[in-house]
Structure 1
Amino acid sequence: GLGASDIDDPLRLLMGVRPDIILYGCTSATLAHGPDFDRKLAARVKSVSGTETVTAAGALVSALEVLGAQRVGLASPYVPAINDTAVAFLAEAGIETVQRSEAAVPLSNEEQGAMTPDEVLASGTRADHDDADAIVLSCTDMRSVESVARLEEALGKPAICSNQAMMHEALRRLGIDDPVEGFGMLLERPRS
């Protein structure tokens, strides 16, 4: 994926369409380098583009703050070493991970995207814990947006996924407060 050092040229190409907001859609790319890198990347994108910028990892933290979730279960298609960085990222934001569900072997981007909504639901269920305030489904490739509402219904608690969190943050920054039904508690609530 693109990092802070090699993002300028692609951003300049993108600016021809004059977007209102830019979503940096790779959760693990910024999770792996920590919150400071995540903030610097978002600032760099905004500096080069002049456009509001949301990262997936930053949006997950914002979503958890909106929901008041301080303890989470984490489900992802990442291997344990990458999940370790996700746990550390969340911890730096004051969020404790109380349970994890992860891939036993590395999955390619295509394999992450090929996970069915039922497989994502099962992974999210494995990440549940009595002490978890919410479940985090981390990975923009994973088809988790299709599983969020079902997971919430099954567990009786909020579930946040990377794409849903980015959409919530984008709508909030753009001043769009209308609820979005069918994609979990986060999008169904007012954003103001």
Structure 2
Amino acid sequence: MSQAFDEGRHGRAKIGFVLLATEQTIEDDMFTLCPPGVGLHFTRAPIPDSITVETLRAQADDLAQAAASILPDGSLDVICYACTSGSLVIGEDRVFAELCKGAPNAEPTSLITGVMAALRAIGARRIAVATPYLDEINRREADYMTDAGFKVVNIQGLNLEKDSDMIRVRPDFIADFAARVDRPDADALFISCGALRSIDVLDALEQRLGKRVISSNQAMMWDVLRRAGVSDRIAGYGSLLRDF
């Protein structure tokens, strides 16, 4: 009977993502960026259509149960909490602990973890950050990245509270807004938030600014692939996936 089986469609790696209940962009982006032979598996944690420090902090108690719902056979290689602001509000240590409760065989990571790993990989220390967030989240993001060793030379948000608004921001507007947030002394520009359709403009924005541009979903895919041992280079979505 053993001769009847192979590794299935996803023999290279299986990656899980815990999304916000409101999320509408990340799944499309992950499938767009995913190389052949890698399986992507998604679940969601409850949250209202209001992205505040309070609602994000409350997600911590739901991460373990959400993680446990993905591939209970234990074959998941990596699991990621796919929210930039949520992972920095809750904190990576707590996120990892909760993910490990639900998926003990998978390596845990988070969106902010992937972003900071990507920034280190490209050698960037001075960062300009464009976000859709409320000021209360921007302040926490600046503090979190500063504590991690980065210099945030500028951070500006669109002051949006609803995830359902963040997903509707036009890519061309994202590019223009991010370019205004950039500063000449920034080593790199980071466009924060998995809800924004930022991957659509990364190549053109890097050419426009003459520097590397990191976005949340681009960095997340790069991070989970490298953690899973997948080293494919992916063109068309910024230099991070193409060159690192």
Encode CA deviations 1:148-169: one digit per residue, 9 max, x unaligned: 1111111011111111111111
Partner residue in 2 for 1:73: 128
Partner residue in 2 for 1:48: 102
TM-score of the two chains, using structure 1 as the length reference:
0.90
Q: Within the alignment, does 1:4 sit opposite 2:4 as a pair? A: no
* SS of equivalent to 1:151: helix
Letter in 2 for 1:90: M
Give the strand-richer structure, 1 or 2: 2
Question: In terms of mean alpha carbon deviation, does 90-99 or 21-30 score higher?
Answer: 21-30
* SS of equivalent to 1:159: strand
Aligned counterparts of 2:176 and 2:222: Cα–Cα separation in 1: 24
Letter in 1 for 2:79: I
Aligned counterparts of 2:204 and 2:65: Cα–Cα separation in 1: 40
Partner residue in 2 for 1:82: 137
Encode CA deviations 1:73-122: one digit per residue, 9 max, x unaligned: 1000012221111100110111111122311x433101101111111101
Aligned counterparts of 2:237 and 2:171: Cα–Cα separation in 1: 13
| Structure 1: 5+ residue stretches without partners | none
Q: 1:109 aligns with which of 159, 163, 166?
A: 163
Instruction: Give 1 or 2 for the bigger CA radius of gyration.
Output: 2
Alignment of 1:163-174 (within 5 A): 163-174=217-228
| Structure 2: 5+ residue stretches without partners | 1-19, 21-44, 46-58
* SS of equivalent to 1:16: coil
Q: Within the alignment, does 1:182 sit opposite 2:236 as a pair? A: yes
Q: 1:39 aligns with which of 55, 76, 93?
A: 93
TM-score of the two chains, using structure 2 as the length reference:
0.72
Partner residue in 1 for 2:182: 128
Aligned counterparts of 1:149 and 1:24: Cα–Cα separation in 2: 26
Query: Shift of the alpha carbon at 1:30?
Result: 1.9
Which runs of structure 1 show a deviation greater than 4 angstroms over 4 or more consecutive aligned residues?
none
Q: 1:98 aligns with which of 121, 131, 153?
A: 153
Aligned counterparts of 2:141 and 2:229: Cα–Cα separation in 1: 29
Partner residue in 1 for 2:16: none
Query: Shift of the alpha carbon at 1:23?
Result: 2.1
Query: Shift of the alpha carbon at 1:28?
Result: 0.7
Is the CA contact 1:101–1:126 (under 8 Å) kept in the aligned structure 2?
no
Query: Shift of the alpha carbon at 1:59?
Result: 0.8
Partner residue in 1 for 2:113: 58
Aligned counterparts of 1:113 and 1:42: Cα–Cα separation in 2: 26
